[in-house]
């Protein structure tokens, strides 16, 4: 139910640990998680990405000057969206009003575009360093998992 959280410990974080727990294969509610890839493999559930995890990831990325604008902007947007979702719930509305949501989603798309501009493909025969990979992978996650990231309960 919406008031309960399941926390489990396992020596592995992989698919075997999730399968041993036995919840996600048949779960049909909303699974809020940290965007670990295997969770999205469970198609019966609706997925929502944990905002606290995203904000922590964004804070790390924002420490790099070239990433600061989009990462800080995305953090601010996520917090605004969270507040708007709470206000809507307080007013017994099932979702953020369409005109406000549309504005949020437009800003989201602009910030994702900024993220990709700040993370161009590396020159031939070079690889991204760990900071560049973290920033790029987060940009990809915001693009790929938009619906799950923007799902606020």
pLDDT tens-place string over residues 25-72:
888 988 889 998 888 999 999 999 999 999 999 999 999 999 999 999
At residue 73, the pLDDT reads 99
Residues 71 and 128 in one domain: yes
At residue 47, the pLDDT reads 93
Q: Is the residue at 122 inside a domain? A: yes
What SS3 state is found at 40? helix
Residue in 57, 20, 27 with CA at minimum distance from that of residue 41 = 27
Residues 138 and 79 in one domain: yes
Residues 31 and 74 in one domain: no
Asked if residue 1 has pLDDT above 70, the reply is no
């Amino acid at each position: 139910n919406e008031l309960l959280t399941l926390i489990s410990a396992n020596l592995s974080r992989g698919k075997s640990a999730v399968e041993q727990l036995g919840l996600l294969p048949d779960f049909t509610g909303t699974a809020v998680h940290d965007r670990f890839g295997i969770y999205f493999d469970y198609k019966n559930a609706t997925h929502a990405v944990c905002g606290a995890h995203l904000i922590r990831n964004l804070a790390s990325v924002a420490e790099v000057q070239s990433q600061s604008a989009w990462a800080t902007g995305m953090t601010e947007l996520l917090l605004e969206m969270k507040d708007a979702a709470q206000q809507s719930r307080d007013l017994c509305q099932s979702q953020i009003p369409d005109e406000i949501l549309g504005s949020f989603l437009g800003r989201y798309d602009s910030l994702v575009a900024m993220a990709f501009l700040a993370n161009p493909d590396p020159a031939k025969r070079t690889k991204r360093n760990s900071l560049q990979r973290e920033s790029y992978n987060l940009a990809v996650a915001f693009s790929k998992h938009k619906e799950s990231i923007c799902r606020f309960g």
